[in-house]
Structure 1
């Protein structure tokens, strides 16, 4: 009887934790901001937004280092004209 109750308690904890994590993941996705153009993005991120930290700029030397955020880049992918995985680099 003790083993059955321990298994049920463990199962209940796993289910409650997994549902809490998925709610947090949905909340963090909803907070990603989409910018109308690069001028707006440069107010918050002077160097633009990079999809990954190992991405290199195709256009040459830039003045500022880009902020790294996969979710933010994906939301503003339209602003990456040269398709080098850095949106609005400067």
Structure 2
């Protein structure tokens, strides 16, 4: 009886850890790359900032940017003025 319980617990632990790692891999794959700033601004009105400490080098903006390092890195070419905020409005 003890062997069956230990075997069951061991299998649950193994499958639990492998399931958690698969979720993490799916989350990394869900980062979207946008074709242009117009498409990006439909989802993120203020653009995408690399971190919360960056400052806008351009003029005034209407909206606060969404902060995400992974999303910014995927859409880095949309940051024309290189201020670490892509497609700011």
Alignment TM-score, normalising by the size of structure 2:
0.78
- Unpaired runs of 5+ residues, structure 1, are 1-8
3-state SS of the aligned residue for 1:39?
A: helix
* Cα distance in 2, alignment partners of residues 57 and 11 from structure 1: 52
3-state SS of the aligned residue for 1:26?
A: helix
The equivalent residue for 2:86 is 87
- Unpaired runs of 5+ residues, structure 2, are 1-7
Q: RMSD over aligned Cα, in angstroms?
A: 2.4
Shift of 1:20: 3.0
The equivalent residue for 2:29 is 30
3-state SS of the aligned residue for 1:28?
A: helix
Report the count of equivalent residues: 89
Pairing 1:1-90 to 2, within 5 Å after superposition: 16-90=15-89
* Cα distance in 2, alignment partners of residues 16 and 84 from structure 1: 44
* Cα distance in 2, alignment partners of residues 84 and 49 from structure 1: 11
Shift of 1:23: 1.3
Shift of 1:64: 0.6
